[in-house]
Structure 1
Amino acid sequence: MAFLPASASAQTLDDPLGIPADISLLGEANPNVRTATAIVNGHVITGTDIDQRVALVISASNNQLSEEDLARLRMQVLRNLIDETLQIQAARSQEIEVTQAEVTDRYNTLAVQNFGQEAGAMDEYLISIGSSPASLKRQIEGELAWSNLLRRNIAPFVNVSEEEVNELLKRMEESRGTEEFRLAEIFLAATPENRNAVLENGQQIMQQLRQGGSFQGYARQFSQASTAATGGDLGWLRLAQLRSTQLEAIVNEMQPGQLVGPVEIPGGFWIVYLVDKRQVLMADPRDAVLSLKQISISFEPGITEELAAQQVQAFSTGVQNMRGCGDADAVAGSLGASVVTNDQIRARSLPEQLQNIVLNLQVGQPTPPFGSIEEGVRVLMLCGRDDPEVVGGPSFDDMMNQLEDERVNKRAQRYLRDLRNDAYIDYN
């Protein structure tokens, strides 16, 4: 489009700038105007609010989203923002205020956890991904407001008897040696009316998680359980504490690192991640503190596989002939190998393939060689081991708190459902 020369529009007293009555805009009327996407009991949720929260979710995933996936994500984020707004409004109506100091303190804590430094680094990161500090602080405000509301209005009216707690502790003692599981969850509430839409959203979340998305990030953004604020962490549980034979069967078949879902349960859908498992009231061998010597060789660039194999064979033979850890440095020197000693390695920090191998070694024994031409070949020699003490079970108070949290969570879901039913929500 060509621009008109200045003389093409006449200047008058009524129009000193000489602007034609009929103009054609070459850009947005006002790119800074934030149009409402939804109005929740008078509070405006804008497209910018959604964009910035979507950016937080995408940052938790290493994947590119298709236009269709992005549209679904935006709809889910809008629903989350509506719930968040209802939670904040409910708290304020009960004169439960979250102070700016509380929000800032939690924000600074997250900055230290994620960046190991002050909030400035996280500010810059959030802006760089298309989000903002204000968006994350709004989410924090919602979490604190809802937590405070539940603590005051629901938790005091949840009753757990001493008999219930003692019965669970007794059953736990009887199950000593059986397995317990460290779980993380994402709960998506559903009704018969929106079941299919929620299921589709759960399947989309599963796809993103399988492609490398952060479980904690998705749990914080999407889960409607009280564990959302802690990234979905359920802590250590025995199967019986799941209170569902369906879920018990699912979790019992899982291996650490495995993800399952969405599983339909009363009230919605459940996505579960098995972080770890161990035996009830028993010491976990993987908590043993090991003293290890790492003995390694590297290869010249361009070495042939045949020559590398010969060097590995000589290295392996030399290591097998060592007379314990005291002989390691001298023999390693004769083999052209290097030695690194570490006296404070927990077995569980080793790669899973090595954990059982190392735990089955006697002091002075090495692992089989492992590695590659590119990375070098190494062995680990066990030089000492401090086994963990037998762990005690949860205390009476811990078990009481767990039961109370379960019941508070169920009531919180009903409370939020009622807030949705009573809300005035206008969509654009």
Structure 2
Amino acid sequence: MIDLFSMPRMRPLVHGLCLSLVLGSLTPAWAQLRSKDAPTVNPRIPVVGNLSTELKIEGMQITSDYIVAVVNQELITHTDVEKRISRIQETAPAGTRLPPPDELRQQVLDALIDEKVQVSQARTLGMAVSDAEVDTAIENIAAQNQLTLAELRQRMQGDGLDFGRYRTSLREQILLQRLRDREVNGRIQITDADIDAFIASDPAAKNEVQLNLAHILVAVPEKATQKQVAALLAKAQDLHEKAARGVNFTQLVKDNSDDPGTRDQGGGVGMRPVNRLPDIFFKAVDGVKVGGLAPIVRSNAGFHIVKVLEREDSAQATYTQQRARHILLRTTPQTSTQDQLARMADIRKQIVGGQASFAQMARQYSEDGSGARGGDLGWASPGQFVPEFEKVLLTLQPGQISEPMVSRYGVHLIQLIERREVQLSDEQKREAARAVLRERRFEGTYEEWARELRAAAWIEMRDEP
């Protein structure tokens, strides 16, 4: 079932992914389909789409192949289209409404055409991704999935995936990321006047910074009949009435919610910035007091009973800072990620075993400027570290040492020293507003840029043989 509270913005399929092993922080393929009635989630801080290290192996046997389009001398084949369609269908959560087959195929083809246009533009601008960069990306993906390169190749071979084709696809995705970051972000201009207007009038800035909600989802199947929808609405109304009478909400969630992502937590999604909540939920709870229920909400997934657990207004807003230290071992063509992981595991063993302190080992081994300070990184705010580093750091308790982990910079060993809550300054509020505005404008700016590139491209469509 779709987790609407963490679902990425539903963007057009032009943000299509490679037919590869990488998923996760890139927008999932199913979520890239345009949906007119889908709720949108506006992340408070825009995140540059980085290659994920979450592994997904999938193969698809194609008995024949042919060219369906030529884009500035870049080829799109029938196999490319069918594999992308297959991946979207396989990764779509239950309840997701996909377009009809013909429409889906056309959206996939349009997405692939846009990708080829953009790859061609990147090459025209002289942008390139070296073999070493692709090797490092693949090596990191394998390492974070606890596989050697040989094991990765073996799994790919067993699932009918061609390693050379995978490398090509991965190279293109890295290239596309760089091009979009450079060209699209460069077009987005946020003025001080824009920020002033946002802070003065936008509900996201004016009313409250964060909300903690809990919900019960009564799922509605994609092809539900009117009779089924009516029955499910009646169920949602009954649950809403019980919750309003004071029946334990957590128990109602556990007994009835169709959202596995929040069911075991009593439906709670945690304190989140309002711009990371679907608009339909934010609007539904407007004016609802803490402990109160919103009217029943209908989304693509079904009917929701939403309860307000906590509110935090801008005057009280704080954020969590973390102080950590780390040891970094960089990878090189001569020293693989696997070699450095083994070396870091030995360093960790010595620290945990009391043979040396973390600071001593950082001074001796860390290939980072912080090594001289015993690896101390000082106080850091959310978003200051790369996502893969911060994800691990957030799982640690003060004093705890992580297992060796891989980032784009190499292999790390992390120790959380302490955490603290800090009041948001006016400047930080303005930077948060700037981030929200940039995120809101990204999609429109991206689509305008993509249309311009496509209009100037040479595209030849081929008929099926």
TM over 0.5: no
Instruction: Pick 1 or 2: higher relative contact order, CA cutoff 8 A, min separation 6.
Output: 2
Which structure is larger by alpha-carbon Rg, 1 or 2?
1
- TM-score, normalization: structure 1? 0.40
- TM-score, normalization: structure 2? 0.37
